[in-house]
Structure 1
Amino acid sequence: MTGKNAAAAVHGMSGETWKRHANPWSVWTRFAAIPAFELAVWSRQWLGWWCLAAVVAVVAWLWLNVRLFEPVEPTGWAARGIYGERLHVDGKVPAEHKTTLNWLIASGLVGFVLIAWGLVALSMWPLTLGTVMVVFAQLWRIDRYGLLFQQHLREQSPDDAI
């Protein structure tokens, strides 16, 4: 099982769940979870171990988020991106997309490492730089996934379904 498949399995991503996650409200509110998680961890300075309650709340939100919103068809930018992400998880990525996606995933991971460093050391500059890297990499990945999805639609026969 790949990392992408494992993450999808942890979230219990079914076909219906993917359609709900494609809702723009789901996509954009997941971005809001990044600073919320960072604040929850940073709050250990003020809250001590009680900060774990805030961390658990953010993690619970991330799990609930992909189930909460109405399912949508891939008509908008964010929805096409999530439908393309599903293709990636399912291993349906043409070679011309793999290199770019791997670079975007790698840059997002570097950003995640910087976030972790900033949170452990309570240092603002790696936290801020890491957050910017993660957000930009994720936005670019969503855009790339949208292109992947559109290419998939052009290439599939009318009888195929994703």
Structure 2
Amino acid sequence: MPAKWDIFAHSERMMAMDEAAWARHANPLSVYSRMSILPLMTIAVFSRVWLGWGAVLPVGLVILWTWWNPRAFAPPKTTNSWAAHGTFGERVFLNRKAVSIPSHHTRWAIALGVVSGVGMVPWIWGLWQLDLGMTLFGLSLMIGGKLWFVDRMVWLYQDMKDAHPDYTAWAR
């Protein structure tokens, strides 16, 4: 995948993830509370019905929460959790140009990114049309795809944790 089309690396740059943010994001509270973003954005956008242009405020707050979430919690005391290993796997995946990973992990990550991306279509349509069914269908695809992606990243980390000293050093 050409670097300019690498949506995963682009997302990391937009989030300005550094070592400290990644260490904090390994906290299960960060990982699990991150799953609140899409439902909160859904409510924020739907709030235009009763808030009008005032809905810009809750939308802005959700955007702020999206950026702040990986920084909101302390680094975990132990990284022996599914959530921490999922974030480690994401880091391994993002580093795949420097330390190659098995191709099946790349294929799955891209496929699950596509599932989540496809879910955006009915979600956005549902938000635009105030169609709760389409919105929930899109949310299901996006959140389901993301959770499956995180699970695959756990597997990737398990496969790669001894492939590079940095990967081993993340565990405590």
Band the TM-score falls in, shorter-chain normalisation: over 0.9
Aligned counterpart for 1:79 among listed residues 68, 78, 84: 84
Amino acid at match of 1:89: L
- What pairs with 1:33-72 in structure 2 (closer than 5 Å)? 33-72=37-76
Structure 1, unpaired ranges of 5+? none
Q: Amino acid of the residue matched to residue 87 of structure 2?
A: I
Q: Compute the RMSD of aligned alpha carbons.
A: 1.4
Matched, 1:29 2:46: no
Q: CA deviation at 1:93?
A: 3.2
Secondary structure of 1:71 counterpart: coil
Give the conservation status (yes or no) of the 8 Å contact 1:42–1:122: yes
1:104: Cα distance to partner? 0.8
> Within 2, Cα distance between the matches of 1:145 and 1:118?
30
The answer to whether residue 143 in structure 2 is matched with residue 135 in structure 1 is yes
Q: Which runs of 5+ in 2 are unaligned?
A: 168-172
Where does residue 121 of structure 1 map in the other structure?
129
Distance 1:46 1:144 in 2: 40
**Any idea what SS the aligned residue of 1:60 has?**
helix
Provide TM-score, normalisation by structure 1: 0.92
- Give the Å deviation of 1:141: 0.7
Q: Contact (CA 8 Å) 1:101, 1:144: kept in 2 or not?
A: yes
1:161 counterpart SS class: helix
Give the equivalent residue in structure 2 for 1:99. 107
- TM-score w.r.t. the length of structure 2 is 0.87
1:9 paired residue among 7, 13, 31? 13
Which portions of structure 1, spanning 4 or more consecutive aligned residues, are displaced by more than 3 angstroms? none
Query: Any conservation in 2 of the 1:74–1:83 contact (CA below 8 Å)?
Result: no
How many residues get paired? 159
